[in-house]
Amino acid sequence: MVLYWLTWVTVRLLATVLFRFRVSGAHHVPKTGGVLIAANHTSYLDIPILGCGMPRRAWFMGRMDLFYGPAAWLMRHMGWIPIRRERVDRTAFEEAIRRLKAGQAVVIYPEGSRSEDGRLQPGKPGVGIIVAATGSPVVPAYLGGTYDVLPPGSTWIRLRPIQVSYGVPVDFTALVKEMDSEAKKKELYQRISQEIMGRIAELGGVQAPCGAGRSASN
């Protein structure tokens, strides 16, 4: 816990000095209770930047090949939930669900991988699986500028402004109850994902992926 907050302070300070880091809507992140934070993904900087914008500790879902050896152990201790990308990783999803039910904050990137051009990609149904299993509210978040600072394939950091915006929590309880039959589960998961991507797009003032839009209530 101490290491997490020391890292939080360090990253926040560096981001403010180097990238004129700005945060808006952080008050939308509940201070207690299980909550899922869902954000766009364009850069390796997204995890530390999103984390230092929030007023509480979070656990971050990210692909398994990000860290190896001692670094993997350290990042697990810091709050990394590794995911196998080639299939639905039940172990990772079960951990995320367990932490949400225990009242913790979990971060997921619904697109599943970094955007190669900085634009929003369609969300994958995994986020819907977690929402349906926990009933947790979802706080959409938009990361702006991280692509300009460190896009995929780049080895050099550019000094560009970075900002993160957190939106009003979204409650999917009514939608989940409406589509509670086994036959409609896949449709439900995708609708939740599309809704979340639409909220993320609104926060960033950018074009939403095809099919994304509003259906849940705040």
pLDDT in tens, 142-167: 999 999 999 988 889 999 999 999 99
Which amino acid type is present at position 99?
R
What six digits make up the tokens of 4? Answer: 């997490």
Say what the pTM is: 0.90
CB 123 within 8 A of CB 194: yes
The confidence score (pLDDT) of residue 16 equals 97
Average pLDDT over residues 27-53: 95
List the domains of the chain with CATH numbers. 2-26+44-204 (3.40.1130.10)
Q: Buried b / exposed e across 106-136, counting CB within 10 Å, b at 16+?
A: bbbbbbbebbeebebbbbbbbbbbbbbebeb
Rounded Cα–Cα distance for residues 151 and 146 (Å)? 7
